[in-house]
Structure 1
Amino acid sequence: MSESQQSPRPDFTKAPPPGAHPPPDPQQGRAPQGYPPPAGQGYPPYPGQGRADTYGPRPLSPSDERMWGMLAHLSAIAASLVTLSFLGPLVVFLVFKDRGRFVRAHAAEALNMTISLMVYEVVLAVLFTILTVLTLGIGSVLFGLLIVPYVVALVFCVLAAVAANQGREYRYPLVFRLVR
C-alpha cells in the first residue's frame, strides 16, 4: 500500500484533548498510564474487569420460568421411559436453579417426587418379595401392583406441569423434600 492509502498514525507525543478517553492497551487489558478518566466517570469494563451485574446467570423472563417449570415436571415422565426419571428434573434444577426462584421450586419439587417414587418402588418390591417367599409364591401376584405408584405419579406430574404453566406453585403429596 502506498502512503496515501494508509490511515494516519496517531501522535502519542501530544496530550489528549480534555475529556477524551484513550483506547485500551490490548496487551495489558486496561487503559494506558497517564490518562486518568474524568471525575465521576470510569472506563468501560474490559474482559476480567466486568461489573458484577453484567456477568453470571441472567434471570429468566416470567414466561420462560413457567416453561422451564413445566418442563421440569414433564421431563420426569420422559426420562422415566428409560428408567431414569430423576435425570430430567435434575438437569433442569442444575442448569436453571440460579436463574429464577419459580424454576428452582418446581425443579426441586419434581426432583423430590422422582426420588420419593424410587424409594417407594424399592420398599414395595422388597415387601412384595418377602410376602412372595412367605406365602410360597402366592404373593407374586402383588408385583403387578408396582405399576400403581407410576400411574399415580404420572397423574401428579401432569397436574404439576399444568400448575407450573399457569404460574402457580405445586406441592406433590407424600413426597420426601430432600432437595430445596
Structure 2
Amino acid sequence: MPAPGARPGHADLRVSNQDREQVVEHVKAAYAEGRFDKLEFDDRLERAMTARVHGDLMPIMHELYGSHPVRPMPYPPVTGRPMPGHHHNVRAQTGGDRLGAAAAHLLPLTGLLVIGPLIMLLAAGKTSPYIRKHAVEALNFQLTLLGATVLLAITFVGFVLMPVLWIGGVVLSVVGGVAALGEGDFRYPFTLRPVK
C-alpha cells in the first residue's frame, strides 16, 4: 500500500542512490536533533540504505515529517571529519574506503607498527571519514601496544608475557582488517585513545 500523499504508481518506481542518500541525510539530521534513539536511527538507516522502490522510502519520510511534503535537502559539504559523536555511523563510500581502512589495521603486521595507521590517517583520513575512523582506532591500539611492551620489558613476568601480548595484537589487527573490509565497526579492547 502506498504511503499517504504518494502519487498513484509512484511507490513502485525504482529508487536511485541519490534518492536513498537524501533520505539517509534526513534520518541523520533527525537523529542529530534527538528525535529518536540509536536503535530507531539504525533501523531507519538500514531501511533507507536497502530501499528498492519509492514505496520503501515513503514510510521513513512519513515517520519523520508526517504528511507534510518535504523539499529535497541539499547535500552537506564533504568534510574530512564526521560529525562529532557520530564516528560509529560512518559508512564506506567505495571499495577503496574499505581497502584503505583494512590497510590501517593490517600494515602494522608488516613491521610498520605505528607508522602504518599514521600513513593511512595522513594520506586518506582527510578525504574518507571511514578510513579516518579505522586508522585512528588502529593507531591508538598500536600506541597502547608499544607502551605496554615498554612497561612489560622492565619486569621478568612482563618479559614472559610479551609474546602473548604481541600474538594477541596480531590476531586483533587481522580481525580489525576483516571488519573494515566488511564495512563493520571495530574497537580494540584495552586500548587507550589519545588520538581522536
After TM superposition, the score normalised by the length of structure 1 is 0.55
Aligned to 1:176: 192
Q: Residue 107 of structure 2 aligns to which amino acid in structure 1?
A: S
| Aligned residue-pair number | 108
Aligned to 2:150: 122
Distance (whole Å) between structure 1 residues aligned to residue 150 and residue 159 of structure 2 = 12
Task: Measure how far apart 1:105 and its partner are.
Answer: 0.5
Aligned to 2:110: 78
Distance (whole Å) between structure 2 residues aligned to residue 77 and residue 176 of structure 1 = 20
Q: Residue 99 of structure 1 aligns to which amino acid in structure 2?
A: T
After TM superposition, the structure 1 = structure 2 runs for residues 10-25 of structure 1, keeping only pairs within 5 Å, are none
Deviation string, structure 1 residues 55-99 (Cα, Å, up to 9, x no partner) = x98xx84211101000110001112xxxx5111111111111111
Match of 1:64 among 88, 96, 104: 96
Structure 2 residues not aligned, in runs of 5+: 1-76, 81-91
Distance (whole Å) between structure 2 residues aligned to residue 150 and residue 169 of structure 1 = 22
How large is the Cα RMSD of the aligned pairs?
Answer: 2.1
Distance (whole Å) between structure 2 residues aligned to residue 109 and residue 70 of structure 1 = 11
Match of 1:97 among 125, 128, 133: 125
Q: Residue 105 of structure 2 aligns to which amino acid in structure 1?
A: H
Distance (whole Å) between structure 2 residues aligned to residue 162 and residue 70 of structure 1 = 7
Aligned to 2:18: none
After TM superposition, the structure 1 = structure 2 runs for residues 148-167 of structure 1, keeping only pairs within 5 Å, are 148-167=164-183
- Based on CA coordinates, which of the two structures has the bigger radius of gyration? 1
The yes-or-no answer on 1:108 pairing with 2:140 is no
Task: Measure how far apart 1:145 and its partner are.
Answer: 2.5
Distance (whole Å) between structure 2 residues aligned to residue 174 and residue 151 of structure 1 = 15
Distance (whole Å) between structure 1 residues aligned to residue 182 and residue 93 of structure 2 = 14
Q: Percent identity among equivalent residues? A: 31
Q: Which has the higher helix share?
A: 2
Structure 1 residues not aligned, in runs of 5+: 1-52, 129-138
